[in-house]
Amino acid sequence: MKKYFSLFFLCSFVYSQEFPKFTPPSPTAYELGKYGEVPIGLFTGSPNVSVPLLEYKTKDLTIPITLGYSSNGIGVDDLGTKVGLGWVINTGGIISRTTRNGPDELRGYAHPAVINEDYKSTEFINYYYTIFYGSQLTDTSASLVFDSEPDIFNFNFLGRSGRFTFNNNGKIVVLSDFSLKVTFNPEGLGGFLINDEQGVKYYFNAIEESRLDTTGDNGSSHTGTFSTTSWSITKIIMPNNDIVNFNYADEVYNYITTLEQSINCWYEEYPVDNLSNDYCHQTANPPYEGPILSHRLNIKGKKITSISSTNSLYGTINFEYNIAHPDVANYSLLSTVTLKNNLNSVIEKADLAYTTANQRMFLNEVKFLDTTKKYNFDYGDLSGLPNRLSFAKDYWGYYNGKVTNIKLYPNLSGVGKTFENNFNAIFPNGANRNLDETKAKIGLLKKMTYPTKGY
């Protein structure tokens, strides 16, 4: 009996050769969701670094604008956020979605052959599609493919974090250490409302959409579909009816997130009653080396431009983006954050400066209105970093210094006893994907100098 056997090796995200079925969020949304999901430093051993920039204050509310560093390593393919690699900026809050198999609102999330028929009903699909897109899904035929599990929504805002998902009745189930209620935004479609234990209402209506397209070096291609991947906070209403507004500008850009390559072979499997050894026999069919696939993420994003209140006495915070990314068109980094009072006078300002290393951006300095007050960041020698998307990476996507790699799949030498001794000989030489601990640490933050000159 002949069977088909495939091995897939990717750099940072895992997809099948049938083209990807999930769409990642933008770098900033992804890092913010990850930053809020796990208390950094408690279990990972990564540095727990926080840099306060400014605060927006009303009578009963304080919104801290802070930088956070949460990197466990710089992946070869990592692009970085609006404040550079390894860093995130917290400006209020975000809900990000991890799409599992398919977006909930497009196809439900129970495979008809697996569990609960309720999830794949026309009513169920139209309910979610209406929530997210404002209209029913027109194609509700039985030919639709239904995904097998619900999406996960991660939230992170003003010191509160957690996740939620949907049950088969369309109800939101919250998983958090905080007493929070999450509902769909009653003011309109396409957003969420979170109520906390003190009666404060947080609205998340700034929608970001992503689409993943794939092309192969053999001419194959696949165009994905835009889906909503994050919702940024747009408004906070206090019990005393003070309202804080978060304003955004559109930002449309795209970049290659990762590369993928597969290696395939045929093998003949002995019947159990004839099996005398613990292996499968390799036939003479040569292996097939798959094309190199490029996954390009198209983002209809949002970047925060200001925080203000319906009460002008509280002033405003403005955000400026004047530093172009060297490797991605129409994608800019945060350059200045300014706090102004109700008379439009500058109260405090933070200027951000960056170091460029092989088309990567690293936060180098934060300097305030009082120029003697500043933070400096040292990453060591950044010149050793390879080009983004380099093949010189280990199994986990970190740099390993093997710049002579010309394949993405690894060397299969020593695969194991499940194949005959000649198994290795029939495959092309693959890449060295072994870990190099020293190389993997290149690009990590080594030292932070405080305004007090301590570090």
- pLDDT tens, residue by residue, 212-247: 999 999 888 899 888 888 999 999 999 999 999 999
Is residue 289 included in any domain, yes or no? yes
State mean pLDDT over 379-391: 93
Q: Which of 75-84, 260-269, 427-436 has the lowest mean pLDDT?
A: 260-269
State mean pLDDT over 34-55: 65
> Which pLDDT score, from 0 to 100, does residue 24 have?
67
Residue 28 in contact with residue 88, Cβ under 8 Å?
A: yes
The one-letter amino acid code at 101 reads N
Closest among 410, 412, 411, 391 to 401, alpha carbons compared: 391
> Which pLDDT score, from 0 to 100, does residue 275 have?
47
> Which pLDDT score, from 0 to 100, does residue 427 have?
60
Would you give the end-to-end CA distance of the chain in angstroms? 65
Is residue 454 included in any domain, yes or no? no
Q: Which two tokens stand for residue 6?
A: 């495939």
The answer to whether residues 323 and 174 belong to one domain is yes
**pLDDT tens column, 166-209:** 877 778 889 888 899 999 876 555 789 999 999 999 999 999 99
> Which pLDDT score, from 0 to 100, does residue 171 have?
80
Q: Which two tokens stand for residue 148?
A: 């097998």
- pLDDT over 90 for what percent of the chain? 52
**Of 150, 169, 189, which closes a domain?**
150
Give the Cα separation of 295 and 340 in Å (integer).
Answer: 42
Residue 200 or residue 165, greater confidence: 200
Q: Is 125 strand, coil or helix?
A: helix
Q: Is 197 exposed, middle or buried (0-12, 13-18, 19+ CB in 10 A)?
A: exposed
pLDDT band at 365 (very low <50, low <70, confident <90, very high): very high
Is residue 86 included in any domain, yes or no? yes
The answer to whether residues 169 and 248 belong to one domain is yes
The answer to whether residues 215 and 143 belong to one domain is no
Position 344 pLDDT exceeds 90? yes
- DSSP structural state of residue 328: S
Is residue 270 included in any domain, yes or no? yes
The torsion defined by the Cα of 315, 194, 128 and 99, in degrees rounded to 10, comes to: 90
Q: Sort residue 99 into left (φ over 0), alpha (ψ -120 to 50) or beta.
A: beta
Closest among 68, 77, 55, 90 to 388, alpha carbons compared: 77
pLDDT band at 71 (very low <50, low <70, confident <90, very high): confident
Please count the residues of the chain. Answer: 455
The answer to whether residues 30 and 127 belong to one domain is no
Is residue 455 included in any domain, yes or no? no
Give the Cα separation of 283 and 331 in Å (integer).
Answer: 51
CA angle 329, 333, 335 (to 5 degrees): 140
State mean pLDDT over 140-160: 70
> Which pLDDT score, from 0 to 100, does residue 265 have?
62
Domain that holds residue 115: 100-150
The answer to whether residues 143 and 161 belong to one domain is no
Is residue 361 included in any domain, yes or no? yes
Position 388 pLDDT exceeds 50? yes
> Which pLDDT score, from 0 to 100, does residue 328 have?
95
- Listed in sequence order, the residues at least 6 apart from 332 whose beta carbon sits closer than 8 Å to its beta carbon are 82, 251, 303, 321, 322, 323, 324, 325
Residue 74 in contact with residue 361, Cβ under 8 Å?
A: no
> Which pLDDT score, from 0 to 100, does residue 220 have?
87
How far is CA 265 from its chain centroid? 33
State the average pLDDT for the chain: 79
- Listed in sequence order, the residues at least 6 apart from 1 whose beta carbon sits closer than 8 Å to its beta carbon are 268, 269, 271
- In this prediction the pTM is 0.80
How far is CA 192 from its chain centroid? 20
Position 18 pLDDT exceeds 60? no
> Which pLDDT score, from 0 to 100, does residue 47 have?
59
The answer to whether residues 187 and 264 belong to one domain is yes
Closest among 258, 290, 283, 215 to 8, alpha carbons compared: 290
The answer to whether residues 84 and 116 belong to one domain is no
Q: Is 87 strand, coil or helix?
A: strand
The answer to whether residues 195 and 136 belong to one domain is no
The answer to whether residues 167 and 65 belong to one domain is yes
Give the Cα separation of 240 and 358 in Å (integer).
Answer: 51
The torsion angles phi and psi of 196, rounded to 5 degrees, stand at -95, 180
Number of domains in the chain: 2
Give the Cα separation of 173 and 359 in Å (integer).
Answer: 42
Q: Is 130 exposed, middle or buried (0-12, 13-18, 19+ CB in 10 A)?
A: middle
The answer to whether residues 333 and 243 belong to one domain is yes
**Which DSSP helix (H) or strand (E) runs through 162?**
strand 160-166
**pLDDT tens column, 74-128:** 999 999 999 999 999 999 999 998 777 666 665 554 333 333 444 445 555 554 4
Q: Which of 156-170, 333-347, 373-387, 420-434 has the lowest mean pLDDT?
A: 420-434
Is residue 67 included in any domain, yes or no? yes
> Which pLDDT score, from 0 to 100, does residue 280 have?
44
- DSSP structural state of residue 283: -
Closest among 403, 414, 406 to 436, alpha carbons compared: 403
CA angle 162, 98, 85 (to 5 degrees): 85
pLDDT band at 165 (very low <50, low <70, confident <90, very high): confident
State mean pLDDT over 260-268: 71
The answer to whether residues 111 and 211 belong to one domain is no
Residue 68 in contact with residue 86, Cβ under 8 Å?
A: no
The answer to whether residues 167 and 240 belong to one domain is yes
